[in-house]
Chain A
Amino acid sequence: MRRTARPRAVIAAALLALLAGGCGQPMPDHSPQELRGQGEIGGDIRFSWWGSASRNERTNEVADLFEEEFPGTDVKREAADWGNYFKRLNVQGAGRNMPCVTQLQARTLGDFTARDALLPLDPMIESGAIDVSDIPEPVLDTGRGPDGALYMLPTGAAYDALTVNATLADEAGAALPDGAYTWEDYADFLRAADAGLPDDIAPVNYQGGLPNFFIAYVEGLDQDLFDGQRLGFDKRLLADYWDMWVGLHEEGLTNSPAEVAEQPPSPEAGYVAQGDVMSDSGPGNALTPVQNALDGAHPGQEVVTLPLPSGPEGRTGNVLISSGMSIPRNCDNVPTAAAFIDFWANDERGGDTYASDNGAVTNTRLLQRQLDDPELPDLKKRELALYQEIVDRDPASLLYPPGYMAVFESAFSRAFDDVAFGKKTVPEAVDAFFAEANAGLAT
């Protein structure tokens, strides 16, 4: 019996080892030349991005242009919606199977740099394989990791904006806030609008649990959102912020928390786009689809986007949220991946085709070209104009720690839900949020 038990144990152990080790592909051994993005441009690369059907169409067109520009290349494409994109990427990362050109966002970059999953792009920039001469340095910095190396080339810079149904505000007799308006100014605007709005239309969604709104509040006060892998602001600040929202709700300026919970996640399906709520925070680059949706729901109504509220000293609350492209360490065709990123960042035909679909194009030459284009729709020009206005106010560049979205955003929304639905007081929810966020970010 002992003679047979041992081989069985060995076989079982071997199978387990095979499972453990066989989960991923071997990592390619890059030459110094490849790490500089130099070598033959050709063969297959995989490219992944997130987005809706219209963005998929534009992205495919740019990839087609690249294949035409570099005969012999074949771009295998992988698209997913925002919600599922990063979950899939996590699994691909575990299997060392991320696409050679992987679209990332500054908010998620830390998840991958912490795992050492990405190649630094600086050597490829130094060698000239990737040209960044037309991308402003502050924008470029949003793609850097904690070690200062560039791991993502920012290709689009998005921002959140206050999205307002201007027609409803006008009919209610409330003048839109302008310039560096503060949170107090915004509350006054809501009060003024509430007096003239129909009963079934709330001046604002009950959005105390929306992280991007809160970030604007923190930035306006010139406080740090993060201190390394911990929260950088104090409990009092968050309590003041949530007290402000509870106050707005008690004044009757917001809709119900149940309605907010039910709101579909896409901006074009949101209550502002459907004409059911007058204002909310939303992606600035969603102005066009939101207006299109409003045209369908309430023809003739107009939506506008404004910067988010500023701090009491006039400091902008807006931050830029850049999206860009990275090359994972598992990529076995780095020269072609570098060429693709360079093409995306600099080619005029590509820039015109993509038309700043995922945030304003970061290449200033391509941006100016789009602004000068008489055929660019007016709404798109307004998106880009607001981007320039925000950039001119020197917005802060945030370094998001690993787990930002999974831990911070999730815990923040849930903690405010507890307040909104009366399960916890503001101080209790603040304590719970701090405990969960700090514990989650630290691991």
Chain B
Amino acid sequence: MKENDTGGPHVPRGRGRAVADTEGGAEGRPRADTKGSPKSSAKGSTKGSAEHNAAAYAFLTPWLIGMLVFTIGPMLFSLYLAFTRYDLADPPEWIGLENFRRMFTTDPRFLTSVDVTLTYVLWSVPLLLVVSLALAMVLNRGLRFLSGYRALFYMPSLIGGSVAVAALWRQIFGEEGIVNKALAFVGIDHGSWVGDPASALYTIVVLQVWTFGSAMVIFLAGLRQIPRELYDAAAVDGASAWRRLRSVTLPMLSPLVFFNLLLGVVNAFQAFTGAYVVSNGTGGPADSTLFYTLYLYEQGFAQLNMGYAAAMAWVLVLGLAVFTGLLFLSSRYWVHYGDER
């Protein structure tokens, strides 16, 4: 039997410490050393360890059950469904890779939904980062009523994803909406923005960018952490405002840019509410707002192709994993944590 450095038998570290702290001798030796033979001590500690583990598991049980029943179980079940034909009424029928084959070879709407979603991600995420950083920098200048502005700018983040605001968006960007009225004021005549396939998606991009508050607050916190001396030193060296932004602000903020970028990408890939409400759930006009999640929902709950919808969900998971993996790989070249040598 392997012995520990106290000369007694080996006991689990946690148990030994707990006993030593409360009941051990002056030298802090575990109780196992002072009572009984090594054999019986080992037996006793194993039993105690099991009891200790049982208590831990008992406390963990509600969480474990929740995790198994509501997260891991459904995920595994959906993975199984991805290889089946399942219409909710009849038992799932195993069809192998057929759902995936159909997705990439005979379903043009799937590819449309991928195209729409990627376009949305590529526009909305960078715009969100730029707008939120720009506003954070403005708010970091010590304006009067700063806390009021902060609350005001954060408000769209609280309500921006709601159905009510998405419905309001139809009014703002409609034929007779506020945007067109403002444009008409300066002599520009434009038709419906949400009704035109060429512009409908970009109205949803604007809706997403409008909810810049969370990213802005994170940037604002980061800006407050940048040492003033760095800017002073740069100013002494004659650095322009643009140079200070490029060489001081952005490198110092890069971990937060990365964080906001990751969150933005994950959220954008899963965007649903805006497109659902603006297009009345159709992804129209002419599939121009057919987001991936919207099409997945249509397949699952309107056309009852649950197997196909499950396959789409797993393709989304894999796509997100690849995208975030690439972001992590790229981060080593542009994210600075300040502890590099």
Contacts and interface: CB of A to CB of B under 8 A. Distances in A.
A258 B73 contact: no
B90 interface: yes
Interface in B169-212: 170, 174-175, 191-192, 194-197, 200
B192 A410 contact: no
A293 to B, nearest CB: 16
A410 B170 CA distance: 21
State the majority secondary structure of interface residues on A. Answer: helix
Nearest to A423: B286
Given A90-B304, A262-B175, A20 B192 contact: no
Contacts of A440: 303
Given A16-B77, A115-B89, A421 B285 contact: yes
Interface string B61-73: 0000000110001
B37 to A, nearest CB: 30
A250 interface: no
Given A417-B286, A421-B285, A410 B302 contact: yes
17 contacts: A16-B76, A83-B280, A87-B302, A90-B301, A91-B301, A94-B89, A115-B87, A115-B90, A256-B192, A257-B195, A258-B191, A259-B192, A262-B175, A262-B194, A406-B298, A406-B304, A407-B303
A261 interface: yes
Nearest to A260: B195
Contacts of B196: 258, 261
Interface in A406-443: 406-407, 410, 413-414, 417-418, 420-421, 423, 440, 443
Interface in A376-428: 403, 405-407, 410, 413-414, 417-418, 420-421, 423
Contact of B73 (A15, A406, A417): A15
For A12, A19, A116, A413, the residue with the greatest tally of chain B CB atoms inside 10 Å of its CB is: A19
**4 closest pairs, A vs B, by CB?**
A258-B195, A94-B88, A115-B89, A262-B195
B273 to A, nearest CB: 14
B282 interface: yes
For A19, A258, A443, the residue with the greatest tally of chain B CB atoms inside 10 Å of its CB is: A258
B192 A19 contact: no
A145 interface: no
A256 B192 CA distance: 9
Interface residues of A, number: 39
A390 B194 CA distance: 37
B285 A265 contact: no
Nearest to A274: B176
Interface string A77-89: 0000001000100
A111 B286 CA distance: 26
B281 interface: yes
B304 to A, nearest CB: 6
Interface of A: 12, 15-16, 19-20, 83, 87, 90-91, 93-94, 111, 114-117, 256-262, 264-265, 403, 405-407, 410, 413-414, 417-418, 420-421, 423, 440, 443
Nearest to B278: A262
A375 B40 CA distance: 95
Contacts of A115: 87-90
B142 to A, nearest CB: 44
A259 B281 contact: no
Contact of B77 (A19, A414, A420): A19
B33 interface: no
B213 interface: no
A414 B194 contact: no
A260 B175 CA distance: 10
A256 to B, nearest CB: 6
A191 to B, nearest CB: 24
B303 A406 contact: yes
A421 B286 contact: yes
B104 to A, nearest CB: 16
A421 B89 contact: no
A115 B89 CA distance: 6
Interface string B275-313: 000001110111100000000001001111100000000
Nearest to B304: A90
A287 B104 CA distance: 46
Given A87-B302, A90-B304, A261-B284, 18 more contacts: A15-B69, A19-B73, A20-B77, A90-B301, A91-B301, A93-B89, A94-B88, A116-B89, A257-B285, A258-B195, A258-B285, A260-B195, A262-B194, A264-B280, A414-B286, A414-B287, A417-B284, A421-B285
A408 B21 CA distance: 74
A191 B195 CA distance: 26
B105 to A, nearest CB: 13
A265 B156 CA distance: 27
Given A16-B73, A261-B195, A91 B88 contact: yes
Contacts of B197: 417, 421, 423
B116 to A, nearest CB: 14
A111 B68 CA distance: 33
